Amino acid sequence: MLPDKRYFDSFFKSAFTVDNVIFGFDEGKLKILLIRRNEEPYADYWALPGYFVQQYEDLDAAAERVLREMTGMENVYLEQLHTFGTPYRHAFGRVITVAYYSLVKIADFRPRAAGVAQDITWHLIDELGVLAFDHLEIVQVALEHLKKSIRTRPIGFELLPPAFTLTELQHLYESVWGTELEKRNFRKKILSMDLLRDVGKVQKGVAHRPAKLYRFDEQRYRELEKEGFNFEVRDGGKK
Amino acid sequence: MLPDKRYFDSFFKSAFTVDNVIFGFDEGKLKILLIRRNEEPYADYWALPGYFVQQYEDLDAAAERVLREMTGMENVYLEQLHTFGTPYRHAFGRVITVAYYSLVKIADFRPRAAGVAQDITWHLIDELGVLAFDHLEIVQVALEHLKKSIRTRPIGFELLPPAFTLTELQHLYESVWGTELEKRNFRKKILSMDLLRDVGKVQKGVAHRPAKLYRFDEQRYRELEKEGFNFEVRDGGKK
DNA sequence: TCAAAAGTGTTTAGCGTACACCCATGC
DNA sequence: GCATGGGTGTACGCTAAACACTTTTGA
């Protein structure tokens, strides 16, 4: 039984794209990076930075390339999230999109619009309005994923500057989960994990007692992980 | 700036498939369902039940259809797992595959090979040998996913018959995790969740004290979930 | 001296862990 | 009556949870 290659041709008429959900945290708020499209379909709409994958390009590599070409951002660690394939989600034909997401320190990058992007900015996660394609749904899936994974993996630190205060860390969790946490218990839990190092500095220019700055000890985390340690922060809920 | 539709044509030359990782549990062992292909590429190789998605077919629907057509299995709850898109993973052109997975009760189905499948059987998860395409990698990703999610979601019950003993449940966890659990603590933990109902029957025909049979109370789980209950079984490790 | 956030200690209750023995059945 | 797995109780230690006051700084 030899294959008839022509029979298969009918399947080779689709395209796929990658779309990147880039989370940042700034001024105590969770944000995502959006571009404004200058191309149909959805010209002038805000959208996730994403574009077509080339015919023999690896998916992960495509996500990196597209992000770099549209935003100028390099060395962003992208993780695959989910694939969206509703039949008529793109006006030009069958296009499925593989969504990726990443957590970045906003201060590390100065995104500049290029390619299909005429504009680019950080948007508050809860003020997105209408987005191109099914990108709002993609953002929602990414946010749900973030809520879960920030609980059991020490990924929140990727959103914070290299040195941060415990209150900033707490606000990050509160912002992602939309809840309030009890200060003493949060600090006790975090510090008891032995993953933060006092960098010996304090906040400057605040009109109150300045907070100590900490850094995340990634090497220590890797050691603990090998020993079977499980990172976990609970939404203990306040009251 | 109007789009030039012809410019985009170069992107519309790819295909995608769905591949299903179907887990079952039988004779105390974790298994997956494989078919033997009768079509190139990889004719005569064992493979996951999967095939091309039609041009305007929804991905989730395609996974269901393909599974039904190849195995006769209906009403299988499939969940999307991950998308695999290494450039030259398929000899006929660019094909990315969206992998789905499911947990089923082996006794509920009697799979029969059809379509591109010349044969179909359950395989022990740790005796798979060589599989078609990158299907071994897909199975590994699915297994890792199962190990994690069985811990925090009550999905193990989907692999067991409607009435099961606590020891069967424990063996299921041990088989998936490859560890041993402490009997008393496991039972205490499981029963304390108030999710199992004694069905009032016992095992028959065993050469020892017969074990009570339980069923999973799904309705109760939904209630608890709403109240913020988090299912969790730990790999307490024995000794 | 006031406002504003940082920082800390203690008590309580529940849960994970470790561990050893009796029970019911088939053969 | 013996082999086989089913089934249970308890003590200990840790940690999550709840809660209020003092400290440090800038304005």
- List the structure tokens of A119: 């504009």
pLDDT at A5: 65
CA pair distance A59, B138, nearest whole angstrom: 15
Residue A96 CA from chain centroid, whole number: 20
- What b/e readout covers A72-81, taking b as 16+ CB neighbours within 10 angstroms? ebeebebebb
**Do A97 and A110 contact (CB within 8 A), yes or no?**
no
What is the CA B206 to chain-centroid distance, rounded?
A: 30
Return the pLDDT at A234: 86
Residues A113 and A70 sit within 8 Å (Cβ to Cβ): yes
| Amino acid identity, position A93 | G
Instruction: Find the nucleotide nearest B165 (Cα to C1′).
Output: D6
Whole-number average pLDDT of chain A? 94
Q: Is the pLDDT of residue B75 over 90?
A: yes
User: Is the CB of A12 less than 8 angstroms away from the CB of B13?
Assistant: yes
Q: How confident is the model at residue A3 (pLDDT cuts 50, 70, 90)?
A: low
Q: Given pLDDT bands bounded at 50, 70 and 90, which one contains residue B41?
A: very high
Those residues of chain B whose CB sits closer than 8 Å to some CB in chain A are 1-3, 5, 8, 10-16, 38-41, 43, 52-59, 80, 82-83, 85-88, 92-94, 96, 98
In this structure, what token pair is assigned to residue A175? 């912002």
Model pLDDT, residue B234 = 86
Record: contact B94-A3, CB cut-off 8 A: no
Contact indicator for A103, A153 with CB cutoff of 8 Å? no
Residue of A nearest to B15 (CA): A12
Rounded Cα distance between B9 and A141, Å, is 30
Q: What is the dihedral of CA A186, A190, A196, A202, to 10 degrees?
A: 10
Protein residue closest via CA to C1' of C17:
B185
Please give the residue of chain B at the shortest CA–CA distance from A38: B1
Omega before A87 cis (within 30°)?
no
Closest by CA to A34, choosing from A156, A116, A145, A157, is A116
Alpha carbon distance B144, A121 (integer Å) = 37
Note the pLDDT tens digit of each residue in A5-16. 678 889 999 999
Determine the Cα–Cα distance for residues A147 and A127; give it in Å rounded to an integer: 18
DSSP state letter for A131:
B
Q: Is the pLDDT of residue A175 over 50?
A: yes
Provide the H-helix boundaries in chain A.
5-8, 59-71, 135-152, 166-177, 183-192, 218-226
Number of Cβ within 10 Å of residue A116's Cβ equals 19
The C1' atom of C7 and the CA atom of A166 lie apart, in whole Å, by 11
DSSP state of A39: S
Per CB-CB distance under 8 Å, the chain A contacts of B15 are 8, 11-14
CB atoms near residue B70 (< 10 Å): 24
Å from B185 (CA) to D10 (C1')? 13
CB A59 within 8 A of CB A141: no
Confidence at residue B180, expressed as pLDDT on a 0 to 100 scale: 93
Q: Residue B6: helix, strand or coil by DSSP? A: helix
- CB distance A59–B98 less than 8 Å? no
pLDDT tens per residue, range B113-168:
999 999 999 999 999 999 999 999 999 999 999 999 999 999 999 999 999 999 99
> In angstroms, rounded to a whole number, what is the distance separating the alpha carbons of residues B55 and A88?
10
Mean residue pLDDT of chain B comes to: 94
- CA A108 to chain CA mean position, Å: 14
Q: Which of A11, A88, A92 sits opposite B15 (nearest CB)?
A: A11
Residue count of chain B: 239
Dihedral over Cα of B88, B92, B94, B95: its sign: negative
- The reported pLDDT for the residue numbered B228 is 85
**Contact criterion met (CB < 8 Å) for A59 and B96:** yes
**pLDDT bucket at A239, cuts 50 / 70 / 90:** very low
Position B5 scores a pLDDT of: 65
Stretch A18-31: mean pLDDT, rounded? Answer: 96
Chain A environment of B92 (Cβ under 8 Å): 3, 5, 8, 12
CB A14 within 8 A of CB A53: no
Per-residue pLDDT tens over the stretch A184-206: 999 999 999 999 999 999 999 89
Mean of the pLDDT values across residues A76-89? 97
Q: Across residues B22-47, what is the average pLDDT?
A: 96
**Candidates B14, B51, B53, B95, partner chain A, best to mutate (most A CBs within 10 A):** B14
Residue A1, pLDDT > 70, answer no
Residue nearest to nucleotide D18 (CA to C1'): A239
Is pLDDT larger for residue B150 or for residue B27? Answer: B150
Is 60 exceeded by the pLDDT of residue B238?
no
The pLDDT, as a whole number, for residue B236 is: 65
Structural domains of chain A sorted by starting position, each given as residue range(s) with its CATH number in brackets: 13-151 (3.90.79.10), 153-226 (1.10.10.10)
In whole angstroms, C17 C1' to A217 CA is 30
pLDDT for A215 beyond 70: yes
User: Are the Cβ atoms of A55 and B94 closer than 8 angstroms?
Assistant: yes
Contact criterion met (CB < 8 Å) for A80 and B80:
no
pLDDT at B8: 85
Indicate if CB(A187) is under 7 A from strand C. yes
pLDDT bin (cut points 50, 70, 90) of residue A236 is low
d(C-alpha A65, C-alpha B21), whole Å:
31
Calculate the angstrom distance between C1' of C11 and CA of B214. 40
* Chain A residues touching residue B96 (CB < 8 angstroms): 16, 59, 98
Rounded CA gap, B4 and B2, in Å?
Answer: 6
Evaluate if residue A238 carries a pLDDT over 80. no
> Which positions of strand D lie within 7 Å of protein CB atoms?
3-10, 15-20, 23-27
Q: Go through chain A and tell me how many residues it has.
A: 239
Nearest Cα residue to B236 out of B184, B186, B190:
B186
Contact check, Cβ <8 Å, B14/A55: yes
- Written as six digits, the tokens of B175 are 């088989």
> Is residue A2 very low, low, confident or very high in pLDDT (cuts 50, 70, 90)?
very low
In B, minimum Cα distance to A57 occurs at B87
